[in-house]
Chains A and B, each alone.
Chain A
Amino acid sequence: MSISVTDVEYVARLARLELGADEKEVFAGQMNAILGYVEKLKGLDTDGVIPTSHAVPMENAFREDLVCAPIGVDKALGNAPQRSGSFFNVPQVIE
């Protein structure tokens, strides 16, 4: 299988990325090379193998449901590109 510029555009849209025309061409070529390389996994029989999402076997990590000191509004909003009062400011959502 092979990745076309149209595929690149589709994936870019999913990833919320805007690519220039040159970038799309380059990425299509590079993604083809990399995905061509990972094709080698298909040759391995993995029937009945349990997928590993995490190297250390672990149960759910619970803690006591205690109230901790909050970070505070000013600190939490300290890096906001735009804020109004105690809110993050974003462009209009519903047009």
Chain B
Amino acid sequence: MDTIDMTIHGLHQALESKQLSSVEATKAMLARIEAVEPQVGSFITVTPEQALAGAEAADRRIAAGDMDMLTGIPLALKDIFLTEGIRTTCGSRILDNFIPPYSATSWEKLRDRGAVLLGKLNQDEFAMGSSNESSAFGVCRNPWDTTRIPGGSSGGSAAAIAARQATATLGTDTGGSIRQPASHCGCVGLKPTYGRVSRYGVIAYASSLDQVGPLTRDVTDCAIMLGALAGYDPKDSTSVDLAVPDYVATLPNGVKGLRIGLPREYFIAGLDADVQKAMDAAIETYRRLGAEFVDISLPHTDYAVATYYLIATAEASSNLARYEGVRFGHRSASAEGLIDMMTKSRSEGFGAEVKRRIMLGTYALSSGYYDAYYVKAQKVRTLIMNDFIRAFADVDVMLTPVAPTPAFKIGEKVNDPLQMYLSDIFTIPVNLAGTCAMSLPAGFSADGLPIGVQLIGRPFGEEAILRAGYAFEQATEWHRATASL
């Protein structure tokens, strides 16, 4: 097997048995990045020097017998993760020249285990988007069909795996931004429970919804990454102090007797026929493996997108007030006076989608509308959370589509933000409820585009969805397919 095709666990074995060094694996990845980057556009910044230095250090650790599953593994991060000394843009012109003075906890945890940083990945500006088209740093394309979007906002994180430019990547998920691109690019993507992984050093979009998670080639890699990322961080007061299970150890436990809920509100008219077909086949596979299916209802599903676009934009308008041209980021050269400087710096630095969401959020929080929009949305959020609590009394996990259609064409929805927002209809409720979910490769459309299915777990129930995902993967071949790029 080619080095660039390997999983984390496969590459780990090759490194451990000295078939390969981390420097060799890293050089192969850097060569691959250089070769296909003009067609894909997964990266905003490639860091070859840091990568090779990291790989050399990893090889020394391996030679000394000080080896972890992630030692010497070449990874890449969405450009939303702060990396000390390495430019971090969050996909925005306003942070074009921003060099963070410290690193995100999630990257520090991976780095301390000896992971190698290949670079920083393309994304929608400030993680606002479902197609990666709001990036200020060029188009990112779907490696399965380069006329199509990779999904978003972690588009580069998914495209880099499908294009075999990184062994695994990190993304963030506020309304589906890990799971939807994973589904569109044919990889595994996990959004952990809110509080499971530290958000320290992750540039904030909507703080009550944002969560860090891995995108990988298979479920085993996903379990390895989550084990490394999860845990309490004193620097993130919303991270939860709960023991981290051994996610890899319980993978082979199977799904016999597992109760899987099918929320009827997710099987709507308008669901793409190929997506429906993949869902039906996944249900059949699980039935064969001994799982039980239960029809359930999440009655407030239809209100989730509206709720999300009030809460997320309100939080964004507040979080993005920090970009004022004083402490970091772009400062307008043409301004007169302090307020004018702030206004011009923001207006020059932010793109259209970010401005639109700041405007919506500012409106929803403004005097006279606060109760009607923001508080109302927070109340509906309670109803949506209660739907999940009630449904999880009867089932262990839920199985749903990830997105209503396979990846759409680049440019298809850019002028219709509402249509773009509605493409997140099956992923958004999970963020509002704060629970965990994973996207799993489960088939292809008639045009050869990957389709994922979503497993939703109870809060802090990542073990169950990883185990269910692993059982599915053992019974199918979808995760082995590679883009012909």
Q: Which residues of A come within 8 Å of B, CB atoms?
A: 3, 7-8, 11-12, 14-19, 23, 27, 30-31, 33-35, 37-38, 40-42, 44, 46, 49-56, 58, 61, 63, 71, 75-76, 78-82, 88, 90-93, 95
Contact = CB atoms under 8 A, between A and B. Distances in A.
A63 B329 CA distance: 31
A39 to B, nearest CB: 8
B373 A17 contact: no
B309 interface: yes
Nearest to B97: A79
Given A11-B366, A31-B359, A40-B303, A17 B378 contact: no
Given A79-B327, A81-B331, A19 B347 contact: yes
A78 B417 contact: no
B294 interface: no
Contacts of A88: 326-327
A7 B360 CA distance: 11
B385 to A, nearest CB: 6
B240 interface: yes
Contact of B378 (A11, A51, A80): A51
A17 B303 contact: no
A74 B234 CA distance: 25
A66 to B, nearest CB: 11
B256 to A, nearest CB: 31
A89 to B, nearest CB: 8
Interface in B300-356: 300, 302-303, 305-307, 309-310, 317, 321, 324-331, 335-344, 346-347, 350, 352, 355-356
24 contacts: A15-B359, A15-B362, A17-B347, A17-B358, A23-B352, A37-B305, A38-B306, A52-B378, A52-B381, A52-B385, A54-B238, A54-B434, A55-B385, A55-B459, A56-B193, A56-B434, A58-B195, A58-B240, A61-B238, A79-B99, A79-B328, A81-B330, A90-B341, A95-B337
A37 B306 contact: yes
Contacts of B321: 16
Contact of B194 (A11, A49, A55, A82): A55
A16 B339 contact: yes
A34 B377 CA distance: 14
B360 A34 contact: yes
A19 B380 contact: no
B59 to A, nearest CB: 31
Interface string B248-261: 00000000000000
A16 B324 contact: yes
B99, B325, B379, B381 interface centre (most CB from chain A within 10 Å)? B379
A49 B383 contact: yes
B434 A55 contact: yes
Nearest to A10: B366
A80 B327 CA distance: 5
A38 B309 contact: yes
A17 B326 contact: no
Nearest to B385: A52
Nearest to A89: B326
A11 B101 contact: no
Contacts of B385: 52, 55
A46 B326 contact: no
B303 A44 contact: yes
Given A17-B358, A55-B385, A79-B329, 12 more contacts: A31-B363, A33-B418, A34-B421, A44-B303, A46-B379, A49-B379, A51-B378, A52-B381, A58-B238, A63-B234, A91-B336, A92-B338
A3 to B, nearest CB: 8
Contacts of A50: 379, 382
Nearest to B308: A38
Contacts of A34: 309, 360, 417-418, 421
A52 B418 contact: no
Contacts of A54: 208, 238, 434
Nearest to B434: A55
A65 B153 CA distance: 38
Given A14-B366, A17-B358, A51 B375 contact: yes
B433 interface: yes
B480 interface: no
Nearest to B422: A37
B376 interface: yes
A52 B387 CA distance: 14
